[in-house]
Chain A
């Protein structure tokens, strides 16, 4: 087993696209690291550089203490699961799993043992003699994972492995991948643009944007203390509400109402973020006219303008607020996330 380190990694494609602009990351041995970010932010490029499928423009990739920049993919001791699975269509499942071992000259008996073991772990025993085209999407996904685990690599790489599955299967496979990874203890880098997947699977979550890392942390850290306005609005569903505000001594003023925030000094404009679940209907507070209501079953989402911006408020299913009602929303100063409007960075606060 081995950890993985990226040191100011850069990638400029031949067309001049700066896909990755200096990414540094440390993935400890056995950790499950998820890269999340919007489409085109360079997640796949980072992963493909780790795999050795793209050349590195600058920076260093270290796997288990060895710099692998100029090492062939085959020699990096990694395994990758592709979005479209990339199974060998002309080989049976057994041969798909055995291919990597055969290429490395593993003895036949051992191949048999390892393939059987992997098939058992993934529930593929009954499918070993089938061709990929005879499998369902979920089963193909398992074969792709099986192909990764038989080799017992030092690092697993996943590039949006679940995006071709239906919602239910996605939830199931999410749990399964996590269980397998814990069981095997292999360092993993997992790319997704689905923030629910990112939150639920990661030990270590990396939020990327525009070829750079915005924040690294545990899912809870990132959710509770987003480092930038971008992360704050990207992680969480529905996204965090951002309101214009002004810093005053000991608080922030939103739409004329001062909300106490410890340690604030007067002066500048700030952006105040608040999650939909942190807004409460109360006796007194900012007026909020409900424009429409989304029923989610367990909770309800109220949409409408607050202090000049459209916001969402999450209330329990028992709430009786209706479209057209005007209610008052209480804002708790400790639930506010304050950002510098110019840089988008989180402001130090108590």
Chain B
């Protein structure tokens, strides 16, 4: 037996039912994607007056550009830091929320809110907090002797965007970690306690391994997020600067395309970015299929 299947007579109704969804996906995803691929094979002159079909010239230029590799490295550092930070903090919070504590309900609800905040707004928020001379946290840092200035110091700028980007993602990770923790039978943890494992050892030898499917899933989601969805945070906070300290791949797409007016090169970058995301997602699906839940 299985769940009962609903069947429709004819084809018109099912087609009509999925049409809006298909339309949206087609309009806002497939169409731009196809456009990007098409554009990546073209080159425009500086004034946008003439367009030439150049095959892989844009890609060749891209892969021989040291600036592109620099942006790639920046992105990898950024993604690793965002994923690491947001996963780490979310796991810590989830472990705390998993215990039966008073007010756990409120605590959980509050933790979920940041997810509803748009990246750009998160950026503005962190911008305020960390604004040299004005921001609450920035002044605190200066007072304890850290010459905080993300406008001049590339590392400070990177730390700032990492924090803003990670902050927003914590809620999402928290929800999944909490669900993962609650799926671990209490008796397994109790058995480990009787078996002589202290809290830390229980966490690392029982809880963490049992959470690993969740952790892996979240890692991919967070890396994809850091690669593609952090434009707003970077745009609001640093504009990719100072210099190119926080210029990630997605921000470079924007800078080269919008500001540099190199539409072909920018499109080629988008296509590469898209390929990376597709690759990550494919890995994830393979992994999910292979490792069925415990």
Contact = CB atoms under 8 A, between A and B. Distances in A.
Contact of A88 (B192, B193, B194, B201): B192
Interface stretch (A75-83, A239-247, A262-270, A342-350): A75-83
A80 B191 contact: yes
A100 B191 CA distance: 9
A74 B195 contact: yes
Interface size class of A (residues with CB under 8 A): 20 to 34
A95 to B, nearest CB: 10
Nearest to A74: B196
A74 B197 contact: yes
B209 A147 contact: no
A82 B187 contact: yes
A90 B190 contact: no
Nearest to A159: B187
A90 B209 contact: yes
Contacts of A168: none
Contacts of B192: 88, 99
B191 to A, nearest CB: 4
A133 B188 contact: no
B294 A89 contact: yes
Contacts of B188: 86-89
A73 interface: yes
A86 B195 contact: no
Interface of A: 51-53, 72-74, 78-80, 82-84, 86-90, 99-100, 103-104, 133, 147, 151
A99 B194 CA distance: 11
5 contacts: A73-B193, A74-B197, A83-B187, A88-B188, A99-B192
A18 to B, nearest CB: 20
Given A72-B193, A82-B190, 13 more contacts: A52-B194, A53-B194, A74-B194, A80-B191, A80-B194, A88-B188, A88-B191, A88-B192, A89-B294, A103-B195, A103-B197, A133-B294, A147-B191
B210 interface: yes
A52 B194 CA distance: 8
Interface string B25-50: 00000000000000000000000000
Contacts of A89: 188, 210, 294
Contacts of A99: 192, 195, 197, 205
Interface of B: 185, 187-188, 190-198, 201, 205-206, 209-210, 294
| 4 pairs of A and B residues whose beta carbons are closest in the complex | A100-B195, A103-B196, A86-B187, A89-B294
B222 to A, nearest CB: 23
Nearest to A81: B191
Given A89-B210, A90-B209, A90-B294, A82 B191 contact: yes
A103 B201 contact: yes
Contacts of A87: 188, 191
Contacts of B294: 89-90, 133
Q: For chain B, what secondary structure do more than half of its interface residues adopt (helix, strand, loop), or is it mixed?
A: helix
A147 B197 CA distance: 14
B185 A53 contact: no
A186 to B, nearest CB: 15
A88 B205 CA distance: 10
Contact of B194 (A51, A83, A90): A51
Contacts of A86: 185, 187-188, 190-191
Given A84-B185, A86-B187, A90-B294, A79 B194 contact: yes
A84 B201 CA distance: 22
Nearest to A80: B194
B194 to A, nearest CB: 5
A74 B196 CA distance: 4
A151 B197 CA distance: 13
Given A90-B210, A133-B294, A104 B190 contact: no
B196 A84 contact: no
A147 B188 CA distance: 12
A103 B197 CA distance: 6
A99 B206 CA distance: 10
Contacts of B194: 51-53, 73-74, 78-80, 100
B294 to A, nearest CB: 4
B187 A84 contact: yes
Contacts of B206: 88
Contact of A104 (B185, B191, B196, B210): B196
Contacts of B210: 89-90
**Residue from the set A79, A87, A88 with the largest chain B CB neighbour count within 10 Å:** A88
B240 to A, nearest CB: 43
A73 B194 CA distance: 5
Nearest to B194: A73
A5 to B, nearest CB: 20
Nearest to B189: A86
Nearest to A103: B196
A99 B191 CA distance: 10
B55 to A, nearest CB: 50
B204 to A, nearest CB: 12
A144 to B, nearest CB: 8
Contact of A53 (B190, B195, B196): B190
Contacts of A72: 193
Nearest to B197: A103
A104 B210 CA distance: 22
Contacts of A147: 191, 195
